[in-house]
Chain A
Amino acid sequence: MAQDNNNRYYIILVALGIILGIYTFKLFSLQVLNKSYKRQANENAIREITIHPARGFIYDRNDSLLVYNDAAYDLMVVPKELRKFDTLELCRVLGLEIEDVRKKIEKAAKYSGSVPSLFKQQISKEDYGYLQEKMSEFPGFFVQSRTLRSYPQPIAAHILGYVSEVDEQDVENDSYYRMGDYIGKSGIEKAYEPILRGVKGKRKVLVDVHNREMGSFDNGAEDIVAVPGTSIWSTLDMQLQRYGEELMAGKRGAIVAIEPKTGEILCLISSPNYDPNLLVGTARPKNYGKLVMDPEKPLFNRALQAAYPPGSTFKLANGLIALQDHIISPSTIYSCSGGGYHIGSHVVHCHNCGGLNIYSAIQRSCNTFFCRAYYNILSNRTKYKNIDEAYTAWLDYMSSMGFLQQFNTDLPYELKGRIPTAEYFDKKYNNSWNGNTVVSMGIGQGEAAVTPLQMANMLAVIANKGYYIRPHIVKAIGKKDSLNTQFNEKVYSKIEPRHFETVLQGMKMVVTGGTGRGAAIPGIEVAGKTGTAQNPHGRDHSVFALIAPANDPQIVIFCLVENGGFGATVACPIASLMAEYYLNRKVERTDLERRMKELNIK
Chain B
Amino acid sequence: MPKLDPYNKMSKGFDVRLICYYLALVVIGWITIYSTCHIPDGSTPIFDFGQPYSKQMLWIGTSIVLAIVILLIDSGIIQHYAYFFYLFCLLLMILVIFIGAEINGAKSWIKIGGFSLQPTEFMKVATALAMAKFMQEGKTANQRRYVWVAQVALITIPILVALLQHDAGSALVFFSFIILFYREGLSAEFLVFGIIAAVLGYMTLKLNETYSIALITVVFIIFMIFNRNQKKKIRRNIIVYLASIVFVFSVYFLYEHGLEPHQKQRIDTIFGKTSDPLGADFNLNQSKIAIGSGGFFGKGYLHGTQTKLNFVPEQSTDFIFCAIGEEWGFFGTLVVFGLYGALVFRILKLSEKQRNPFVRYYGYGIAGIFAIHFFINIGMTIGLLPIIGIPLPFISYGGSSLWAFTMMLFCFIKLNDN
* Interface residues of A, Cβ cutoff 8 Å to B: 1-2, 4-6, 8-9, 11-13, 16-17, 19-20, 22-24, 26-28, 30-32, 34, 36-38, 40-42, 44-46, 206-210, 214-217
Supposing A5-B184, A30-B382, A31-B296 touch, asked if A215 and B306 sit within 8 A by C-beta, the answer is: no
Supposing A37-B288, A45-B311, A214-B41 touch, asked if A31 and B185 sit within 8 A by C-beta, the answer is: no
B352 lies within 8 A of A44 (CB):
no
Supposing A8-B182, A45-B309 touch, asked if A24 and B41 sit within 8 A by C-beta, the answer is: no
B277 nearest in chain A by CB position: A40
Q: Summarize A's interface: helix, strand, loop or mixed.
A: helix
B341 contacts A by Cβ under 8 Å: yes
- Nearest-neighbour CB distance to chain B for A418, whole angstroms, equals 63
- Nearest-neighbour CB distance to chain A for B262, whole angstroms, equals 19
- Nearest-neighbour CB distance to chain B for A95, whole angstroms, equals 37
Q: Which residues of B contact A8 (CB under 8 A)?
A: 182-183
| Contacts A9-B352, A31-B294 supplied; 8 other A-B pairs, CB < 8 Å | A2-B357, A16-B344, A23-B375, A27-B382, A31-B292, A40-B293, A208-B310, A209-B309
Report which of B179, B296, B311, B341 forms a contact with A209, defined as CB distance below 8 A.
B311
A208 lies within 8 A of B183 (CB):
no
B139 nearest in chain A by CB position: A1
A5 lies within 8 A of B39 (CB):
no
Q: Give the one of A2, A4, A45 with max B CB within 10 A.
A: A45
A208 lies within 8 A of B184 (CB):
no
A38 to B292, CA, bound (A): 7
A32 lies within 8 A of B330 (CB):
yes
B39 lies within 8 A of A215 (CB):
yes
A23 lies within 8 A of B379 (CB):
yes
A30 nearest in chain B by CB position: B292
Q: 10 closest pairs, A vs B, by CB?
A: A37-B292, A215-B41, A41-B293, A45-B305, A208-B309, A215-B40, A31-B330, A209-B310, A37-B293, A38-B293
A1 lies within 8 A of B179 (CB):
no
- Nearest-neighbour CB distance to chain B for A111, whole angstroms, equals 16
B388 contacts A by Cβ under 8 Å: no
Report which of A11, A23, A38, A216 forms a contact with B337, defined as CB distance below 8 A.
A23
A5 to B181, CA, bound (A): 11
A214 lies within 8 A of B292 (CB):
no
B378 lies within 8 A of A9 (CB):
no
A44 to B305, CA, bound (A): 9
B291 lies within 8 A of A30 (CB):
yes
B345 contacts A by Cβ under 8 Å: yes
Report which of B291, B311, B345 forms a contact with A31, defined as CB distance below 8 A.
B291
Q: Which residues of B contact A208 (CB under 8 A)?
A: 309-311
A22 nearest in chain B by CB position: B384
Q: Which residues of B contact A217 (CB under 8 A)?
A: 40
B42 contacts A by Cβ under 8 Å: yes
Supposing A2-B352, A5-B185 touch, asked if A41 and B41 sit within 8 A by C-beta, the answer is: no
A220 nearest in chain B by CB position: B41
Q: Which residues of B contact A32 (CB under 8 A)?
A: 295-296, 330
B28 contacts A by Cβ under 8 Å: no
Q: What 0/1 readout, one digit per residue, does chain B (150-190) give for beta carbons within 8 Å of chain A?
A: 00000000000000000000000000000100111100000
Q: Give the one of A4, A44, A216 with max B CB within 10 A.
A: A44
**Complex A-B: 30 CB contacts under 8 Å:** A1-B185, A2-B360, A6-B352, A9-B348, A9-B352, A12-B179, A12-B183, A12-B348, A16-B344, A16-B371, A20-B337, A23-B382, A27-B325, A27-B330, A30-B382, A31-B291, A31-B292, A31-B330, A32-B295, A34-B292, A37-B293, A41-B292, A41-B326, A42-B293, A45-B311, A46-B305, A206-B309, A208-B310, A214-B39, A215-B40
B89 contacts A by Cβ under 8 Å: no
Report which of A19, A30, A214 forms a contact with B309, defined as CB distance below 8 A.
A214
Supposing A9-B352, A16-B371 touch, asked if A41 and B40 sit within 8 A by C-beta, the answer is: no
- Nearest-neighbour CB distance to chain A for B307, whole angstroms, equals 10
A31 to B379, CA, bound (A): 14
A31 lies within 8 A of B384 (CB):
no
Q: Which residues of A contact B316 (CB under 8 A)?
A: none
A86 to B80, CA, bound (A): 63
Q: Which residues of A contact B305 (CB under 8 A)?
A: 41-42, 44-46, 206
Supposing A26-B384, A45-B309 touch, asked if A31 and B289 sit within 8 A by C-beta, the answer is: no
B184 lies within 8 A of A1 (CB):
yes
A9 lies within 8 A of B183 (CB):
yes
Q: What 0/1 readout, one digit per residue, does chain B (351-381) give for beta carbons within 8 Å of chain A?
A: 0101101001000000000010001001100
Q: Which residues of A contact B344 (CB under 8 A)?
A: 16
* Interface residues of B, Cβ cutoff 8 Å to A: 39-42, 179, 182-185, 286, 288-296, 305-306, 308-311, 325-326, 329-330, 333-334, 337, 341, 344-345, 348, 352, 354-355, 357, 360, 371, 375, 378-379, 382, 384
Q: Summarize B's interface: helix, strand, loop or mixed.
A: helix
A38 nearest in chain B by CB position: B293
B311 lies within 8 A of A30 (CB):
no
- Nearest-neighbour CB distance to chain B for A543, whole angstroms, equals 67
B183 lies within 8 A of A27 (CB):
no
A27 lies within 8 A of B333 (CB):
yes
Q: Which residues of A contact B360 (CB under 8 A)?
A: 2
A31 lies within 8 A of B348 (CB):
no
A42 to B299, CA, bound (A): 12
A41 lies within 8 A of B290 (CB):
yes
Q: Which residues of A contact B294 (CB under 8 A)?
A: 31
A19 to B378, CA, bound (A): 12
B185 lies within 8 A of A41 (CB):
no
B384 lies within 8 A of A23 (CB):
yes
B41 lies within 8 A of A23 (CB):
no
Q: Which residues of A contact B290 (CB under 8 A)?
A: 41
- Nearest-neighbour CB distance to chain A for B253, whole angstroms, equals 29
Q: Which residues of A contact B309 (CB under 8 A)?
A: 44-45, 206-209, 214
Q: Which residues of B contact A26 (CB under 8 A)?
A: 382, 384
A310 to B333, CA, bound (A): 87
Report which of B41, B182, B289, B295 forms a contact with A40, defined as CB distance below 8 A.
B289
A43 nearest in chain B by CB position: B289
A41 to B329, CA, bound (A): 14
Q: Which residues of B contact A45 (CB under 8 A)?
A: 305-306, 309, 311
Report which of B40, B179, B310, B334 forms a contact with A216, defined as CB distance below 8 A.
B40
A590 to B306, CA, bound (A): 75
- Nearest-neighbour CB distance to chain A for B402, whole angstroms, equals 23
Report which of A1, A24, A207, A209 forms a contact with B333, defined as CB distance below 8 A.
A24
A32 to B291, CA, bound (A): 10
Supposing A26-B382, A40-B293, A209-B309 touch, asked if A31 and B352 sit within 8 A by C-beta, the answer is: no
Q: Which residues of A contact B293 (CB under 8 A)?
A: 37-38, 40-42
A8 nearest in chain B by CB position: B183
Q: Which residues of B contact A216 (CB under 8 A)?
A: 40-41
B40 lies within 8 A of A214 (CB):
yes
A34 to B39, CA, bound (A): 28
A216 to B305, CA, bound (A): 11
B360 nearest in chain A by CB position: A2
- Nearest-neighbour CB distance to chain A for B339, whole angstroms, equals 12
Q: Which residues of A contact B39 (CB under 8 A)?
A: 214-215
A6 to B184, CA, bound (A): 10
Q: Give the one of B293, B325, B326 with max A CB within 10 A.
A: B293
Report which of B40, B182, B333 forms a contact with A12, defined as CB distance below 8 A.
B182
Report which of B183, B296, B329, B337 forms a contact with A5, defined as CB distance below 8 A.
B183
Q: Which residues of B contact A210 (CB under 8 A)?
A: 310
A486 to B298, CA, bound (A): 56
A45 to B308, CA, bound (A): 10
Q: Which residues of B contact A30 (CB under 8 A)?
A: 288, 291-292, 382
- Nearest-neighbour CB distance to chain B for A502, whole angstroms, equals 77
- Nearest-neighbour CB distance to chain B for A37, whole angstroms, equals 3
A26 to B348, CA, bound (A): 25
Q: Which residues of A contact B355 (CB under 8 A)?
A: 2
Q: Which residues of A contact B384 (CB under 8 A)?
A: 22-23, 26
A40 nearest in chain B by CB position: B289
A548 to B22, CA, bound (A): 98
